[in-house]
């Protein structure tokens, strides 16, 4: 069994959320927020071989150019988000084991009022928090709230795609930067020509992405995006500070005109439940908040959140008191054991009636669906389809 498969299986069985691999060091697991080392040091050449298998062809060329790469893969039956990057010891991996259950506001133990933030037809909703705080999972739950409620055209732009969203009432398209589109900027420009109702931007990093996101929120689209920040105020400050000083006033005007709200979350371990639950700070785009943003007085938003309880705003402390008063929580079932590859295969099923012969599918094509998760080249797949 390949090393990575074995380590993901071990991490899964011990309830870890993350697995960290560094040449010359023992694997590190993050379990309930705490990091611990386990096992023998991993050799540099072993990690290099695993990384090359995860990122074949053009993906490996991209890694060599940037010295980092983000992607998602299913390893040993577990959906994982991976960051492959260079360190002084060699090629390293950070692996996030994604939740196997459907992310909804209820299953994440989030306040039900969050559903109100995604009922509008336009505007910008930011989901913020430090690394590993569950921003992407909360974002998926908010999209699911839309998906279960009404018929909308939802386009997501992610790097990588972490949760495969299944359409219920909404029509959902997911695009992965680096695989389906060269950049966030190009994907957003494309999306505006694709008749979307809702846009989901995996992460706001560059000023060009932030500007296009604001433009989309101003022009009749509901836009959901994540940003790394420790508070709601910091999330807005980071967005504004990404621009040159002479541009910041116009950015504040755009934010004031389209902001629906900002969520900032942390994860808190509940010993009584054996799970971590999100603790949120929530800023809503009230008239007073919009006025402060328009005047670039972002530091005063802390006071607005503190005094805005009647308008649906929450400080971390107030939200924690609400959690403490809850009697019912959703607790995921214990992780099921992954199938053992060494177990004998089950008996072959009864043979079905013969089916008409089919023309062999092109690599990466099955039942009319192009699947590039294995790293196949899109150009070769499309060329094969054209020859049919």
Q: What is the pLDDT of residue 80?
A: 93
Which DSSP string corresponds to 15-39? T-SEEEE-BTS--EEEETTEEEE-S
- Going by pLDDT thresholds of 50, 70 and 90, the confidence category of residue 379 is low
Q: Please give the CATH number for the structural domain made up of 112-324.
A: 3.40.50.300
- On the 0-12 / 13-18 / 19+ scale of CB atoms within 10 A, 311 is middle
Q: Which residue has the tokens 């360190």?
A: 87
In order of 101, 108, 338, 357, the CA distances from 168 in angstroms are: 16, 19, 28, 33
- Going by pLDDT thresholds of 50, 70 and 90, the confidence category of residue 263 is very high
Q: pTM of the prediction?
A: 0.79
Domain ranges of the chain: 3-97, 112-324
Nearest one of 196, 186, 279, 263 to 229, comparing CA atoms: 263
Q: What is the pLDDT of residue 370?
A: 40
Cα–Cα distance between 155 and 104 in angstroms, integer?
18
Q: What is the DSSP letter of 177?
A: B
Q: What is the pLDDT of residue 367?
A: 38
- Going by pLDDT thresholds of 50, 70 and 90, the confidence category of residue 174 is very high
Q: Please give the CATH number for the structural domain made up of 3-97.
A: 3.30.450.90
Q: What is the pLDDT of residue 365?
A: 42
């Amino acid at each position: 069994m390949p090393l990575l498969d074995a380590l993901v299986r071990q991490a899964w069985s011990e309830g870890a959320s993350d697995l960290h691999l560094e040449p010359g060091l023992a694997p590190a697991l993050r379990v309930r927020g705490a990091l611990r080392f386990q096992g023998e040091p991993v050799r540099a050449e072993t990690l290099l071989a695993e990384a090359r298998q995860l990122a074949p062809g053009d993906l490996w060329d991209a890694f060599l150019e940037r010295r980092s790469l983000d992607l998602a893969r299913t390893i040993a039956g577990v959906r994982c988000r991976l960051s492959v990057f260079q360190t002084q010891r060699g090629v390293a991996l950070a692996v996030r084991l994604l939740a196997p259950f459907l992310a909804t506001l209820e299953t994440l133990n989030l306040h039900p009022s969050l559903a109100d933030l995604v009922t509008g037809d336009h505007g910008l909703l930011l989901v913020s928090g430090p690394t590993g705080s569950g921003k992407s999972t909360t974002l998926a739950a908010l999209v699911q709230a839309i998906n279960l409620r009404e018929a909308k055209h939802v386009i997501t732009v992610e790097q990588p795609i972490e949760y495969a969203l299944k359409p219920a009432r909404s029509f959902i398209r997911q695009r992965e930067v680096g695989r389906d589109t060269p950049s966030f900027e190009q994907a957003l420009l494309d999306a505006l020509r694709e008749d979307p109702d809702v846009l989901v931007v995996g992460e706001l990093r560059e000023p060009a992405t932030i500007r296009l996101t604001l433009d989309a929120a101003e022009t009749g689209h509901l836009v959901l995006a994540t940003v790394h920040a420790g508070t709601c105020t910091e999330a807005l400050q980071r967005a504004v500070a990404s621009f040159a000083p002479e541009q910041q006033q116009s950015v504040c005007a755009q934010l004031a005109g389209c902001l629906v709200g900002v969520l900032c979350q942390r994860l808190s371990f509940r010993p009584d439940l054996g799970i971590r639950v999100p603790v949120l700070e929530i800023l809503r785009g009230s008239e007073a908040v919009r006025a402060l943003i328009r005047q670039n007085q972002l530091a005063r938003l802390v006071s607005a959140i503190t005094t805005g309880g009647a308008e649906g705003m929450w400080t971390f402390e107030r939200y924690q008191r609400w959690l403490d008063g809850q009697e019912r929580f959703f607790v995921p079932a214990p992780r099921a054991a992954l199938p053992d590859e060494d177990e004998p295969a089950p008996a072959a099923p009864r043979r079905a009636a013969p089916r008409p012969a089919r023309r062999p599918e092109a690599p990466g094509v099955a039942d009319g669906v192009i699947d590039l998760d294995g790293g196949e080249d899109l150009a070769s797949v499309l060329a094969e389809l054209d020859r049919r």
